[in-house]
């Protein structure tokens, strides 16, 4: 087999691998209202090196480690930033970039999961619903709370304001649980233990060190690498998708008091303690120790143990339908890394109140995962394993005649259960006396929606932000601004208008163009001077195009322009949103040194 190519850690966003450190995280969802303006802002964001790459994220880990060792107890403040786009968002940025081979991504989560028959649209947050426009993208800001909040505010002002082609839709956040519950999700179990280890990225672990895991081909998670299913000739990912990954974000509300009450009332009936029953539903004890290895009592020293397997025909210790076994059946599936996902979620919402006997406050998991195919990853896990009570197949002989059941932790009911047996989730298990039996309950989670995103490589982000062209022009000529000025020539308005066009830096080719128009408009009896700033980008052959944005957000015009052969003249055409011409301008070179 050919030697795997060394990964370019400066080209991959850090949350994909190795993961951004998250004591607190903001998910800042947005729509793109003006692609040209947004692209300019994206270009600036990249120039300012705001996006945290895999290499940066490794650096953060090192910094945290150094502070922990040199100043124990000190919190190392940091914030890391990643960005991703929905299919709709990608299309707005570049219509030619629609060759995504992943069907669920093209459809979006609503069409995929609501129609699948489990998610109820009335339980979804309005902001994620397609009828309200949905979301085009998300900015992820992760780190420590103070720094993350400050950074998000700065980003919103500097790069993501309404004049930069962005409409903010909603901010959601997640926070590590306090003190001894840190790293545990709200049901109380240690999370993020088993993760795929990527060949060429992660260190191979030695058998016997407890953490041993087979290695996962990196292409299962990161597009364009060995193991990317869609690298097969017929369904090839386009080359520009390389080093990107599909990102699933899903807000899952957890019913914690209800889960605890179920354990309290059902455990004695099954001859278990509450902890023993909980461990069977999850597949690990609260400490993290696998129930397959420790069926009777927790064993905190094995909290992060991964070196174990299940016997395909036995579920005496760990039920077939436990969350762990449903989402990663280990020995049952021969192609072991085929459905791997990289989980990067974070809990959200407050701790359960002392008197909260039924869920009153919204809390749960901002479930987040990366994969090179949603069809093989998240969607497959939900549809074919988690929600299917017959998975794993052909096990009735070992369960006492019943199906294994749905995933005990994240299983969902069909929307309109026709049959009695579909009105509750049912899990087969072996009780404390060694008898095959079943237990049933209402789901402990509810999906409040989310979406499917694509997390592009840094190279693709630069291309989308127009930086390749800018960088080219900057590098061959880092000269001063070029300024044109001129007057209205023909059209239906704008006689008093003076117009300035500025290429902020360097040559005209590839440089962004700022068009500033100033004119006097009657407002009541007064005449008020107005000025509008339009940002255009190079559309090739010395021509420029933009959608107009003004500070009030009330004008929706397009500017197109072209520079004369000798560079001394610039013609501009202004049209309305229907494409009808409003005015033409002829501008002359004023200075190359402003």
Q: Which residues are catalytic?
A: 191
Q: Select from 323, 321, 317, 310 the least CA-distant residue to 189.
A: 323
**Tokens 């209202």 — which residue?**
33
Of 100, 105, 128, 187, the one binding ligand HEM by CB under 6 A = 187
Measured from the CB atom, the residue of 443 and 456 that comes closer to ligand HEM is: 443
Q: Select from 445, 407, 394 the least CA-distant residue to 322.
A: 407
- Work out the angle at residue 257's Cα, subtended by the Cα atoms of residues 255 and 262, and round it to the nearest 5 degrees: 95
Give Cβ neighbours of residue 315 (< 8 Å, ≥ 6 apart). 325, 395, 398, 399, 404, 428, 429, 430
**CB of 226 within 8 A of CB of 219?**
yes
* Contact call for residue 12 and ligand HEM (CB under 6 A): no
Measured from the CB atom, the residue of 446 and 467 that comes closer to ligand HEM is: 446
Strands 215-216 vs 197-198: parallel, antiparallel or unpaired: parallel
Minimum Å gap between C-beta 421 and ligand HEM is 23
What phi and psi values does residue 286 have, to the nearest 5 degrees?
-60, -35
Measured from the CB atom, the residue of 280 and 470 that comes closer to ligand HEM is: 280
| DSSP for residue 5 | P
Measured from the CB atom, the residue of 120 and 472 that comes closer to ligand HEM is: 120
- List binders of ligand HEM among 435-454 (CB under 6 A): 445
Minimum Å gap between C-beta 282 and ligand HEM is 5
Residue nearest ligand HEM (C-beta atom) = 194
Contacts with ligand HEM by CB under 6 A: the residue count is 26
> How far is 503 from 480, CA to CA, in rounded Å?
9
* Contact call for residue 192 and ligand HEM (CB under 6 A): yes
What mask, x for binding ligand HEM by CB under 6 A, covers residues 375 to 414? ---x--xx--------------------------xx----
**CB of 349 within 8 A of CB of 332?**
no
Of 24, 189, 259, 488, the one binding ligand HEM by CB under 6 A = 189
What mask, x for binding ligand HEM by CB under 6 A, covers residues 253 to 292? -x---------------------------x-x--------
Q: Select from 128, 129, 173, 122 the least CA-distant residue to 363.
A: 173
Q: Select from 185, 173, 225 the least CA-distant residue to 54.
A: 225
> How far is 80 from 78, CA to CA, in rounded Å?
7
* Contact call for residue 205 and ligand HEM (CB under 6 A): no
| DSSP for residue 482 | E
* Contact call for residue 191 and ligand HEM (CB under 6 A): yes
Residue 208 exposed, middle or buried by CB count within 10 Å (0-12, 13-18, 19+) = exposed
Give Cβ neighbours of residue 236 (< 8 Å, ≥ 6 apart). 101, 230
Measured from the CB atom, the residue of 192 and 530 that comes closer to ligand HEM is: 192
- List binders of ligand HEM among 314-343 (CB under 6 A): 323-324, 327-328, 341, 343
* Contact call for residue 252 and ligand HEM (CB under 6 A): yes
- Work out the angle at residue 454's Cα, subtended by the Cα atoms of residues 350 and 107, and round it to the nearest 5 degrees: 95
Long-range CB contacts for residues 202-207, cutoff 8 Å, separation at least 24: 202/18, 207/307
Measured from the CB atom, the residue of 324 and 458 that comes closer to ligand HEM is: 324
Of 367, 454, 534, 558, the one binding ligand HEM by CB under 6 A = 367
Per CB under 6 A, the segment of 31-39, 120-128, 188-196, 389-397 that binds ligand HEM is: 188-196
Q: Select from 320, 324, 321 the least CA-distant residue to 343.
A: 324
> How far is 207 from 228, CA to CA, in rounded Å?
26
Minimum Å gap between C-beta 276 and ligand HEM is 16
> How far is 220 from 241, CA to CA, in rounded Å?
14
Give Cβ neighbours of residue 65 (< 8 Å, ≥ 6 apart). none
Measured from the CB atom, the residue of 44 and 336 that comes closer to ligand HEM is: 336
Which secondary-structure segment (H or E) carries 469? Answer: helix 467-476
Minimum Å gap between C-beta 212 and ligand HEM is 13
Measured from the CB atom, the residue of 278 and 510 that comes closer to ligand HEM is: 278
**Tokens 């426009």 — which residue?**
133
Measured from the CB atom, the residue of 376 and 455 that comes closer to ligand HEM is: 376
What are the residues binding ligand HEM (CB under 6 A)?
Answer: 185, 187, 189, 191-194, 252, 254, 282, 284, 323-324, 327-328, 341, 343, 364-365, 367, 378, 381-382, 409-410, 445
């Amino acid at each position: 087999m050919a030697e795997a190519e060394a990964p370019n850690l400066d080209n991959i966003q850090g949350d994909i691998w190795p993961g951004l450190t998250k004591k607190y995280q903001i998910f800042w969802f947005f729509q793109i209202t003006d692609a040209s303006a947004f692209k300019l802002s994206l270009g600036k964001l990249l120039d300012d090196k705001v996006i945290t790459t895999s290499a940066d994220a490794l650096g953060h880990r090192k910094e945290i480690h150094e502070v922990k060792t040199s100043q124990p107890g000190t919190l190392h403040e940091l914030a890391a930033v990643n960005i991703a786009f929905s299919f709709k968002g990608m299309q707005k940025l570049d219509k030619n970039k629609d060759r995504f081979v992943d069907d669920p991504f093209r459809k979006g989560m609503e069409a995929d999961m609501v129609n699948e028959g489990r998610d109820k649209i009335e339980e979804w947050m309005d902001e994620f619903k397609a009828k309200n426009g949905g979301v085009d993208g998300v900015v992820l800001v992760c780190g420590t709370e103070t720094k993350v909040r400050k950074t998000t505010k700065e980003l919103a002002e500097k790069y993501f304001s309404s004049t930069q082609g962005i409409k903010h839709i909603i901010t959601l956040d997640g926070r590590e649980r306090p003190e001894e519950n840190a790293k545990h999700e709200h049901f109380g179990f240690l999370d993020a233990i088993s993760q795929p280890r990527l060949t060429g990225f992660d260190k191979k672990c030695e058998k016997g060190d407890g953490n041993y895991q087979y290695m996962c081909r990196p292409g299962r998670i990161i597009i364009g690498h060995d193991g990317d299913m869609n690298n097969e000739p017929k369904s090839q990912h386009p080359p520009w998708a390389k080093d990107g990954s599909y990102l699933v974000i899903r807000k899952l509300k957890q019913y914690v008091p209800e889960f605890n009450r179920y354990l309290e009332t059902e455990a004695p009936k099954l001859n278990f303690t509450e902890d023993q029953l909980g461990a069977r539903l999850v597949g690990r004890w609260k400490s993290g120790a696998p129930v397959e290895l420790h069926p009777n009592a927790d064993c905190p020293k094995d909290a992060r143990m991964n070196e174990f397997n299940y016997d395909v025909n036995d579920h005496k210790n760990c039920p077939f339908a436990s969350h762990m076994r449903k989402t990663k059946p280990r020995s049952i599936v021969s192609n072991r890394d085929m459905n791997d996902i990289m989980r990067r979620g974070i809990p959200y919402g407050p701790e359960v109140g002392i008197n909260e006997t039924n869920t009153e406050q919204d809390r749960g998991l901002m479930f987040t995962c990366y994969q090179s195919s949603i069809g093989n990853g998240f969607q497959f896990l939900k549809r074919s394993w988690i929600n299917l009570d017959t998975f794993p197949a052909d096990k009735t002989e070992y369960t006492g005649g019943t199906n294994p059941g749905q995933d005990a932790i994240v299983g969902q009911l069909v929307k309109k259960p026709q049959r009695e047996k579909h009105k509750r989730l049912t899990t087969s298990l072996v009780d404390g006396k060694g008898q095959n039996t079943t237990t049933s309950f209402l789901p402990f989670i509810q999906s409040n929606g989310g979406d499917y995103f694509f997390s592009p490589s840094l190279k693709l982000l630069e291309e989308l932000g127009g930086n390749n062209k800018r960088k080219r022009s900057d590098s061959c000529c880092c000269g001063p601004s070029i300024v044109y000025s001129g007057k209205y020539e023909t059209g239906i308005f704008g006689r008093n208008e003076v117009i300035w066009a500025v290429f902020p830096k360097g040559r005209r080719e590839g440089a962004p163009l700022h068009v500033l128009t100033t004119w006097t408009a009657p407002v009541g009896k007064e005449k008020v001077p107005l000025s509008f700033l339009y940002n255009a980008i190079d559309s090739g052959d010395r021509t420029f195009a933009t959608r107009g944005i003004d500070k009030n957000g009330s004008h929706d015009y397009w500017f197109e322009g072209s520079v004369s052969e000798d560079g001394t003249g610039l013609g501009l055409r202004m049209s309305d949103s229907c494409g009808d011409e409003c005015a033409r301008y002829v501008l002359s070179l004023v200075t190359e040194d402003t």
